[in-house]
Amino acid sequence: MPLFERLTTTIPGQWEKVIATALLVGMGLLASHLWARYLSRGEISAEKRRIHLVWARNVIWFVVLLIMVSVWASTLAGFALSLAAVAGAMLVVSKELVMCVHGYLYVTLVQPFKIGDVIEFNQFHGRVVDIDMFATTLVELDRAGQRTGKMVEFPNGLLLTHPLKNASPNGVFALHAIRIPVPLSMAQDLERIEAAAMAAADRTTSPWREDAMDHFRKAAEENFIALPSGKTKVSWDFSDPEHLVLVIRVASPITERPKVEQAVFRDTWHAIHQPSPSAVPSAQPQP
């Protein structure tokens, strides 16, 4: 029997719905493609372009799925009892799949993170670039905040059972703690080291310091929570008696954190290795 006749026998009287379903899928693909081309011609940043693309894609396919269900509703109604039994079996067999969908609903409704945020999840650390119904994709970052060139993808179901840390919850600006190890041989000169670190941090963050402070103040008022002021602060971590660690907290744009860390570390390290004024011998007058 020819293939067309087999399909006709298998789906009697349902060809209109099959054609409608194919058209819906085609329209969804076309709409996603046209939206991506429209965004590529705009003058917005790559991060905002990615946010709009993911949001529009999810909305388009949600609408397509909703229409497809309504098209096949009358046919599915006849198999309600069978579908109930199959659904029960799928809940047992496909538990992970159901958890992924629930995880996507959790991300959509609660919004613990969004496209462009830097998150730490299990052993993963990276910037969120895609969120779909089943998985979240990250661009992996190293400890210095530099891209490693690797992509990380994890199922959304893990979000329901594992804690997550969002390193950029307050929008454009974020607080960043820069840790600089200091040799114990320099422990007698802590004041000079703190002053050098404060000067280096203030010099690096001066272009946006006032904007960052305004940003954190507005975020605290809107969210009704107490947030740091955004001012530069210096402290010491002496939890390990064999090592001293200077901690410099600065406010910086999320995308500039790696550059800020390198600049503050370099300037501080150069400053503390310069001989102190008291250590420079004064010139003796000639007889």
In a domain, 18, yes or no: no
State the amino acid at position 40 in one-letter form: S
The stretch 93-108 carries a mean pLDDT of: 82
**Domain CATH number, residue 241:** 3.30.70
Q: What is the pLDDT of residues 143-188, one digit of tens each?
A: 767 788 899 999 999 999 899 988 776 667 888 888 888 888 777 8
Q: How confident is the model at residue 286 (pLDDT cuts 50, 70, 90)?
A: very low
The pTM (predicted TM-score) of the whole model is: 0.57
| Distance in angstroms (rounded) separating the CA atoms of residues 270 and 203 | 14
Q: What is the pLDDT of residue 182?
A: 85
Inside any domain, residue 235? yes
- The pLDDT of residue 80 is 54
Residue 204 resides in a domain? yes
User: pLDDT at position 154, please?
Assistant: 92
Does residue 113 form part of some domain?
no
- Measured CA to CA, the distance from residue 247 to residue 259 in angstroms comes to 17
Question: 287 falls in which pLDDT band (50, 70, 90)?
Answer: very low
- Answer with the residue of higher pLDDT: 240 or 1: 240
For the cut 50, the answer to whether the pLDDT of residue 264 exceeds it is yes
Residue 11 pLDDT exceeds 70: no
Structure tokens at 280: 């420079």
* Within-domain flag for 192: yes
Instruction: Answer whether residue 6 is part of any domain.
Output: no
pLDDT of 177 reads 86
pLDDT at 151: 92
Q: What does the pLDDT read at residue 257?
A: 82
Q: Which residue has the tokens 């507005």?
A: 218
Q: How many domains does the chain have?
A: 1
103/74: higher pLDDT: 103
Average pLDDT, the chain: 79
Strands 173-182 and 244-253: antiparallel
pLDDT digits (tens, 9 = 90+) for 110-136: 888 888 888 888 888 898 988 888 899
Q: Does 79 map to a domain?
A: no
pLDDT at position 283: 44
Which residue shows structure tokens 């999810």? 58
Q: Which domain holds residue 260?
A: 173-274
Reply yes or no on whether the pLDDT at 3 is more than 50: no
CA-based angle 69:74:78, to the nearest 5? 115
